[in-house]
Amino acid sequence: MRLFISLRKLYRDRLYTLTSLFSLIILISSCSFILIYVANELLYDHHHQNHSRIYRISSVWNSPTSTDQMAITNGQVGEYLESNYSLVSRSARVSLIGKNPGFMWREQQLETKDFYRSEPSVLDIFTFKMINGSVGQALSKPGDLMINESYALKMFGTTDCLGERIETDGGSLQITGVYEDFPQNVDLNINGLMYQSFDQRSYDQFAFYTYVLLQEDATETELEGALAETSIQLFGDNPKYDEDIRLKAESLNGLHFINDIKVDNPKGSLTNVKLMILAGLLLIIIVTVNLTNLNMVKSLEGLKKIALHRIMGASRRVIIMNFMLELLIIWVLAVIGSVFLLDLGEGSFTSMTGIVLTPVHFIYIGMFYLGTLFLCLFSGMIGIFYILSARPAQGLRKFYNPALPGDVIRKGLVTFQFVVASVLVTTFTVLLLQQAFINKKDLGYNPEGLMLLRVNDQTKQRMFIINELEQYLGAGHVAAFWQPQMGKDELMFSSIKLISEDGESQEVVSNDMIIDENYFEVLGIHKKKEELPPELSSQPMAYLNQTLIDQIVYDGRVAKFEYQWGTGGVVAGVVTDFHYQSMHSRIQPLVMVVDPEISNTWNGLYIRTRMDQMPRIRRILQDQFAEDVIDLMPVDQKLEAYYSREQSVLLLLGSFMVMGLVLAALGIYTVLAYLFRYRMFEIAMRKIMGADFRSLVVLFGREFVSVAVFTLLLALPIAMLTKDQLLAAFAYQVDLHWTIHLIPIGLLLAGMFTVVLFVALRAARLNPSWILHNE
């Protein structure tokens, strides 16, 4: 019986029902996606059981002009730490040399991704959940290969593949273990592990991720002390290293948000996580404020009925139970609607964030659903307790006093709602302007019509690829280069000695790459200086970028360069700075060594072409070299990939911002609509006494004047602080004056007063005699 009465009441008061239902559906579905994103980012590497005790050791290279941190160390660091410090339980080296080899199985070429060479101790540090094979025996001898479930199914069609052999350029490998795929949120994804033994030759190679597992009672401070001593022992007096090299530990728990380390895997952004949390809080605040205000003004309208029920003997418990039943019905309907929206938006969410929903995510969502139930009941109970605090006599004479504490609470909640909304809108504006700035900034070369082709280490037809392309496009349209494909950075950096004509020298740390003679012409990079005496033209030569030249402290012209391992040549000239990496970091020093013989060794090509020529280029590659091509993409697309994370967050924030503003406007309109219905008698009397449209605007607008003032005073400084945090992720930032924040805040407040004008216009059109007749 109570259920039927509650359903009838909700049907009769459709404005309240639809507003509450729509608000809750948007809240639950949107915040479910936000919760998935935030949990995915904050719980990175929690798959590994000992994640809180795992540290990755990085190397910091200090030169007189710069400091660079690399995610890699030489092969001696982990072994030295484990042998000399009891606080280190285990250590493991994961080699970047020989990463992702080409496999042959039954005369079929198999492409690999995230395949590494490592030692058995890596199985003691990371968590491998075995499907087939034993953790203790799976990586115990040369030739052992462990693969994950996805690659087992891809290669063999089954996980029951122990003993199968795969051929590589270095010999034969045997499958000795199959393990479950790592989840999406791990820093180092491992699809396959090959056994590798390390000897003293690895001690001089900076090409390893080094991980250590601490004892349970060891602390990070103790590890830092051990690393300081180890740095001195291994690099302090070693003549092989001219730079000051220091070791640094990064906890696996926070590694995902450290973006300034070179030769590393792609990282996340803590700022983006905070923005998503802010968007979720905005939606929660808006819906909570809407439901609270809606229940309060709805209760005002029903004040007379509740007063009669109380006079007739209805207890507070019965009245509260009736309200809770109505709220419970609305929540159940909202959950059903949000499940539908969640299923509808799953594909779009995955395409934007790369996060695939798993059963673990649905556990988080279920817990959040229960949280929204308490939120729904809480917001509804504020309204009912506010009404129950009034005496029945006040309800019978439709008492309304805007100075009641409930009214102050309502205005405070609306102010808080608009402050958070203003911060979100200004955040979206700043990201939008920064993205526009990036799109318009001069890169130092022309990316239009430029294609990037990357090939793997097993490619045999390198010279023929160049010949085929040049035969079709003509000379001067193809530029070859070689650079290591390690980590997120396109380039490695090395210690280089720059020598002047007078014999002065300076050690610098610089990125380096090998190019052909066409590189600058094809990319459109300007040579600022080109000074190469004819008698030196037969020697290896290199070009330096302007950033590297600016680090030189001596006065003479840089004439020669020399690597720490002894090779070198002459400096042929200086080129203008160009953005060969993203704008998250400043342009780094760069040495470009020209190699006339690179046509046989290159691993990348820049191709200057037109759109109408692309089908023929793709056909050339597909017909002859399809199995060898790693990637072929427009450079514009590659540049967009640098900022895909910001673009995805921008799109999500924009979506949530629109939802939040719609909910805020709907909430204000609904509250004003109820106040309008409650004060219809007062409005009629005012109109009879001569009140015009302007008077009605003042009547409804003064409800929100204080809201607008406090919103402006609170939102402006918060928005300015948020802007600084957002732009800190970019080395090159758009220049924004503080007054730019006034525009979105002003538009938001203008939207609020537009709703006020709409309600006032509706009141001005009412016939006072009809209102008094019905009263």
Q: Which positions ≥6 away from 247 have C-beta within 8 Å?
A: 57, 58, 59, 60, 73, 77, 227, 228, 230, 231
Please determine, for residue 120, whether its predicted confidence score (pLDDT) is greater than 80.
Answer: yes
Residue among 317, 280, 334 nearest 22 (CA): 334
- Mean pLDDT along residues 700-724: 77
Angle between helices 644-678 and 405-440 (to 10 degrees): 150
- Rounded Cα gap, residues 314 and 308, in angstroms: 9
- pLDDT, position 85: 94
Chain segment 537-546, per-residue pLDDT in tens: 567 888 998 8
Say which residue, 258 or 685, is predicted with more confidence.
258
- Could you tell me how many residues make up the chain? 775
End-to-end CA distance of the chain: 31
Tens of pLDDT, residue by residue over 274-332, are 888 878 887 888 888 778 777 776 666 556 566 555 566 556 676 677 778 888 888 89
Distance in angstroms (rounded) separating the CA atoms of residues 569 and 130: 52
Tell me what the pLDDT averaged over the chain comes to. Answer: 80
pLDDT at 368 over 70: yes
pLDDT > 70? residue 772: no
pLDDT of residue 628: 45
CA pair distance 642, 638, nearest whole angstrom? 7
pLDDT at 629: 45
The most distant pair of C-alpha atoms in the chain lies apart, rounded to whole Å, by: 111
pLDDT in tens, 480-526: 988 765 544 445 667 788 888 888 888 887 888 889 888 988 888 88
126's tokens:
């990371």
DSSP state of 51: G
Q: Which pLDDT belongs to residue 139?
A: 92
| DSSP string for residues in 342-400 | HHHHHHHHHHHH-PPP-HHHHHHHHHHHHHHHHHHHHHHHHHHHHHHTS-HHHHHTT--
Amino acid in the structure at residue 291: L
Three-class SS state of 457:
coil
Distance between CA atoms of residues 298 and 308, nearest Å: 16
pLDDT reported for residue 405: 45
Q: Which of 71-80, 264-273, 395-404 has the highest mean pLDDT?
A: 71-80
From the CB of residue 2, how many other CB atoms can be counted at a distance below 10 Å? 11
pLDDT of residue 461: 67
Which pLDDT tens digit goes with each residue over 558-617?
Answer: 888 887 666 788 888 888 888 877 777 778 888 888 888 887 778 788 999 888 888 888
Mean pLDDT, range 261-286, rounded to an integer: 80
Label each residue of 536-556 as H, E or C: HCCCCEEEEEHHHHHCCCCCC
Strands 208-214 and 54-62: antiparallel
pLDDT at 86 over 90: yes
The answer to whether 578 and 592 are in contact (CB under 8 A) is: no
pLDDT tens for each residue of 407-447:
666 667 677 777 777 777 787 788 888 888 887 888 888 88
Q: pTM for the complete prediction?
A: 0.75
CA distances from 472 to 454, 515, 522, 619 (A): 19, 22, 16, 12
Residue 329 has a CB neighbour count (10 Å cut-off) of 17
